[in-house]
Amino acid sequence: MSKHASTVKLYDEARPALKRIIRELKREKYKDKKSIDARIEQLQIWSFAILGYELLTALADRIDANPFPGKRMTLAQIAFGLMPDVRSAVWMAIFGIYELCASERHYFPVAVEELDVGEIEGKLRELLAGRDALPVKETKDVMPWVPQSKTYVAVKKELQRRGWLWRSLKRKGVVSKVIIPPIG
């Protein structure tokens, strides 16, 4: 995007001069129709490039707010979802001009702060009650999500960052998944 910023700025600064040239060409006694049409087409191209740049910067600002936590979407889906008033053909043309892949997928991470991992950690410590490991099956009340879900993975990563371990232990010939609290 930054490489296009200077070009768009140049277009924006040169647009008034181009409009003036078009007005002067239309006032001439012997009008050159091809020259006028070429300048008008150039003005339209510049105006669309400026519009596209403004829409992309607005889209980038909205994407920074993480509007779809936990979802994986294509750039086109994001654009259509965040700015439904802009027609899809316009978005596809803008993606083409700025050489962006509309089918490129982006993942919006789950905000772990919203889940209050500290509270989950406290409940896990209560369930431990003096044991050295907690079977994962017993954590369904504290962590009610499907183990492959994005929310579960985000909470697990945060807990692992805090020192918790997920291991497989073999007890009495049976392998079971357990959660081991941090030492100390």
Residues of the chain below pLDDT 70: 1-4, 111-114, 184
pLDDT, position 3 = 63
pLDDT, position 152 = 82
Q: Is 65 exposed, middle or buried (0-12, 13-18, 19+ CB in 10 A)?
A: exposed
pLDDT, position 114 = 63
Helix (H) or strand (E) holding 183: none
pLDDT, position 20 = 86
pLDDT, position 184 = 66
Give the dihedral of Cα atoms 47, 48, 50, 52; nearest 10 deg. 170
pLDDT, position 111 = 65
pLDDT, position 163 = 92
Q: Is 153 exposed, middle or buried (0-12, 13-18, 19+ CB in 10 A)?
A: middle
Among residues 27, 23, 18, 94, the alpha carbon closest in space to that of 55 is found at 94
Contacts of 42 (CB under 8 A, 6+ apart): 18
Separation of alpha carbons 56 and 1, rounded Å = 9
